[in-house]
């Protein structure tokens, strides 16, 4: 087994094909294919299912990818450590957030300090955030759930209660508040399964023997807002994320208070990376923590 063979395998796996891996490594496709073939032959294993122009990992390939992710992450950390004398003038930091709203002050501070660093910001639900961090597809995550255990470095950004909201002409808009029992009778517009906002309000209702059922499921907060604005339904959101929209009215939930913590997280094993560490330091500076 040689380093070049593992590198070829790893890049085919994460890029989704031999051609893309060749482009990423600035090599020819036959060279990449040859390295993977030699690795498979040496250990008498099939690492990829090859069907026409599509490839997918076998069970053995999946297990090996778990190892090579850690291997090449450690290699990157070694490179970062050896390059610490250089200032952060270039690079890419990938952020995955269930709501980028909470991280905007941190992002702003980071950009002030390191204008040469490129930021890639994507949104998803809590499951997406954790999945991308664990698969090394993002360096930093923002989510409304503080994960348990020692696998993550966590910085709490804020706490905010959940509220309901409806269109300004909805009958509930004049009341300014609503109960969980009353919510159960409404046409609810909820986030997709995997959303911490949705699961939190459903758990709170279930504890009171109330079942909340989504009449409409929508992917993402903005989609929920737009549907509520035009459909006559009722949505759920954290108070910090409600914002200002003349079409919508916030509704306090009177018979329970569900508070979501919004946290900035990264894998603990990656917290020492120069780029990630600089972002975490920006977060601590913004929220006034040492």
How big is the chain, counted in residues? 290
Same fold? 3-82, 159-258: no
The per-residue DSSP string of 31-82 comes to HHHHHHHHHHHHHT---EEEETTEEEE-HHHHHHHHHHHHHHHHHHHHHHHH
% pLDDT > 90, the chain = 63
Angle made by CA atoms 120, 125, 131, in degrees to the nearest 5 = 70
Three-state SS at 128:
helix
260 vs 191: CA distance, rounded Å: 15
247 vs 225: CA distance, rounded Å: 9
Per-residue confidence (pLDDT) for residue 85, from 0 to 100: 47
Per-residue confidence (pLDDT) for residue 289, from 0 to 100: 52
User: In the structure encoding, which two tokens stand for residue 226, read together?
Assistant: 């737009």
pTM: 0.59
Q: Domain segments of the chain: what residues?
A: 3-82, 92-157+261-287, 159-258
- 93's enclosing H/E stretch is strand 92-97
Per-residue confidence (pLDDT) for residue 103, from 0 to 100: 86
User: In the structure encoding, which two tokens stand for residue 11, read together?
Assistant: 């890049």
Spatial contact of 126 and 144, defined as CB atoms under 8 Å apart:
yes
Which 8-state DSSP code applies to residue 102? G
Per-residue confidence (pLDDT) for residue 84, from 0 to 100: 58
Per-residue confidence (pLDDT) for residue 111, from 0 to 100: 92
Among the four given CATH numbers 1.20.1050.40, 1.10.10.10, 3.40.50.10800, 3.40.190.10, the one describing domain 3-82: 1.10.10.10
Per-residue confidence (pLDDT) for residue 56, from 0 to 100: 93
CA 18 vs CA 11, 21, 23, 44, 197: distances in Å:
8, 5, 9, 20, 40
- Measuring CA to CA, which residue among 99, 92, 100, 98 is closest to residue 130? 98
Per-residue confidence (pLDDT) for residue 54, from 0 to 100: 84
Three-state SS at 155:
strand
CATH 3.40.190.10 fits 92-157+261-287, yes or no: yes
Segments of the chain with pLDDT less than 70: 83-87, 149, 289-290
CATH 3.40.190.10 fits 159-258, yes or no: yes
146 vs 154: CA distance, rounded Å: 7
Question: Residue 220, class by beta-carbon neighbours within 10 Å (0-12 exposed, 13-18 middle, 19+ buried)?
Answer: middle
Per-residue confidence (pLDDT) for residue 144, from 0 to 100: 76
Q: What tens digit of pLDDT does each residue of 49-76 get?
A: 988 778 999 999 999 999 999 999 888 8
């Amino acid at each position: 087994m040689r380093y070049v063979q593992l590198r070829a395998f790893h890049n085919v796996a994460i890029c989704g094909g031999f051609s893309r891996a060749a482009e990423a490594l600035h090599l020819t496709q036959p060279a990449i294919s040859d390295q993977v073939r030699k690795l498979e032959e040496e250990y008498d294993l099939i690492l990829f299912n090859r069907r026409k122009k599509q490839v997918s990992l076998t069970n053995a390939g999946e297990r090996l990818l778990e190892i090579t992710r850690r291997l090449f992450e450690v290699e990157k950390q070694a490179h970062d450590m050896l390059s610490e004398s250089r200032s952060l003038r270039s690079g890419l930091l990938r952020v995955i957030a269930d709501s980028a709203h909470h991280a905007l002050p941190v992002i702003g501070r980071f950009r002030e300090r390191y204008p040469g660093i490129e930021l890639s910001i994507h949104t998803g639900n809590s499951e997406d955030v954790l999945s991308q961090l664990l698969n090394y597809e993002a360096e930093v995550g923002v989510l409304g759930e503080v994960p348990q255990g020692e696998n993550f470095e966590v910085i709490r950004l804020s706490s905010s209660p959940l509220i309901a909201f409806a269109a300004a002409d909805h009958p509930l808009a004049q009341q300014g508040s609503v109960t969980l029992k009353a919510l159960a009778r409404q046409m609810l517009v909820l986030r997709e399964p995997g959303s911490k906002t949705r699961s939190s309000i459903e758990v709170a209702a279930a504890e009171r023997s109330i079942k909340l059922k989504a009449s409409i499921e929508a992917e993402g907060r903005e989609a929920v807002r737009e549907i509520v604005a035009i459909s006559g339904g009722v949505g759920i959101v954290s108070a910090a994320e409600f914002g200002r929209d003349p079409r919508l009215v916030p509704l306090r939930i009177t018979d329970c208070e569900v508070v979501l913590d919004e946290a900035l997280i990264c894998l603990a094993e990656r917290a020492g990376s120069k780029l990630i560490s600089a972002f975490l330091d920006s977060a601590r500076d913004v929220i006034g923590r040492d």
